[in-house]
Amino acid sequence: MSESNNFAIQGYNLSKLLKRLEDATARLEDVTLYQEGYIQTKINKLSTNVGVQEGSSLQTQPSLLETKQQDADTNPEALIEEPKSIKEFVNLIKNSVDPFYELSGQIDPVVKEAVGYFKGAFEGQLNFLRAAVLSKKPDMTSDAFVASLKPINESIMAIGELKDKNRQSKFFAHLNAVAEGSPMFSWIAVDTPVSIISDFKDAAQFWTNRVLKDFKESDPNSVEWVKKFLAIFDELKSYIKEYHTTGPSWNVKDGIDFAEAVQKVNAGTSASSNLEPPVAPSGGSTAGPPPPPPPPAPPSSVFEVKEDKKTESGIGAVFAELNQGEGITKSLKKVDKSQQTHKNPELRASSTVSSASAKAPPPKPKKPTTLKTKKPPKKELIGNKWFVENFENEETPIVIEGNRDESIFIGNCSGVLVQIKGKVNAITLNATDQCSVVLESSISGMDIIKSIKFGVQVEQSLPQISIDKSDNGSIYLSKDSLNTEVYTSCSTSINVNLPVGEDGDYVEFPVPEQLKHTFTDGKLSTSVYEHAG
């Protein structure tokens, strides 16, 4: 009885345990089926996206850069919005200067290079204005202020140097226009900037008119180039009127030091340049090895000048012997009585000085014919002044067609004839030899300075002629210029020829050279000294 009860109890326990085991097994089966389905779904999704991931592997790189850009944008300093004045200046560069630069490339590479410097000055001025809105007004003579203007000044100087190197260029008028207009960038250093823009626009417009005259029919790009160039002056003038009427607008209330502001602007510029993505090498090519280091400098002994001890001669040797003091007599030889001429009359009578013993004086060093390099001849109109320089022995006359507002400068010429047509303002003849000038008329007159063997012929009228430090000149005046006044100083052999002879023949009148000075009543009186007879 007891065994059956024990069995029943054991059976009851076993059946309960089996039921629980079946429940656990069912649960495990359910979990297994769910996991197998989930894993299979993920495998299928990954298999379908393998091709897409491989094809777009190059596109994931910019997303990283975008993430970096977003991280950079979260910087508090980057979130500060630039003032409207800076935005408008950026728009001026983008909408006016950049198209002007692109159009210059269609005209000539040198013109594009000059306009590139012009654009660089605008960009340098943009950095200056960005620093100005952050800082208080600095001292104009401070190192920080001068250093901030250095990039702009270097661009202006580069434009001028490029113009001077290309004087023979077909597009020299384009280069001159940019060079004459580029000083307008100095408006940031004055209190009345609006007038400066107008002044330099007028200076540049002289050359843009020349561009229109030379290229109006042949090159439409040059005509459009002039329009865009002059429009930059107008837009910059309007911009200054609105934002910088009395000079750059400084941050008076809470501005920082100008040097610190410049550092912030430069740091922001360098940081923005570092955000550019690197260019991946194409075709698996690797970068080449770095260039070899430069050769070592030669030893210092190569540059040291070794002084050769040479025997001194001339006056230097005399002073060297005198400086010996008592030792100067050591080199003297004692003369015996038999060799003394004052004690031996026979020796004195026979002693003669050989002429061969006398050394001839050293030849005088010859002066070089010229100490200056020969410059190329030049005939050009710069502004309202003609320059005729460095011409020698020209067979044909040099003809200049001048206007009332133009002056003529003739310098450093030899053996040339210059013919000036039209009525000009003034004429200058400077440092010439055997030069002749034929002119029609002049408003102010003519100056002749340091010229030799010159000739001047006036066809119409001339108020005065001034001659200074010149020799051997002839002046021929017309009937309309008999009232011309001639002034001379430190000059000789000057003759004035007047058409007062028979049948209008010229009669020569030498200009007096000798003057007589007398003192009368405590005053100096000067008159021309004339030889009678």
| Complete DSSP assignment for 13-63 | HHHHHHHHHHHHHHHHHHHHHHHHHHHHHHHHHHHHHHHHHHHTTTTHHHH
Rounded Cα distance between 504 and 498, Å, is 9
Q: Which long-range contacts (CB under 8 A, 24 or more apart) does 401-407 make?
A: 404/443, 406/381
Ramachandran angles phi, psi of 403, nearest 5° = -120, 175
Domain positions in the chain: 84-266, 378-528
Residue 349 — φ and ψ, nearest 5°?
-70, -35
Q: Which residues of the chain, if any, have pLDDT below 70?
A: 1-17, 28-80, 269-333, 337-338, 342-343, 346-373, 531-533
The pLDDT score that the predictor gives to residue 387 is 94
What is the pLDDT, as a whole number, of residue 311?
52
Q: Tens digits of per-residue pLDDT, 415-467?
A: 999 999 999 999 999 999 999 999 999 999 999 999 999 999 999 999 999 99
Closest-CA residue to 429 (of 415, 445, 409) = 409
378-528 CATH: 2.160.20.70
pLDDT digits (tens, 9 = 90+) for 44-85: 555 555 444 444 443 444 433 344 344 444 444 444 578 888
pLDDT value, residue 437: 96
The torsion angles phi and psi of 417, rounded to 5 degrees, stand at -120, 125
Provide the pLDDT for residue 209.
Answer: 92
In order, the DSSP letters of 252-292 are TTT-B-HHHHHHHHHHHHHHHHHTSPPPPPGGGPPPPPPPP
Q: Alpha-carbon distance 377 to 390, whole Å? A: 4
* Amino acid at the residue 170: K
The span from the CA of 166 to the CA of 239, in Å, is 33
Q: Which fold has domain 84-266?
A: 1.25.40
User: How many of the other CB atoms lie within 10 Å of CB of 391?
Assistant: 22
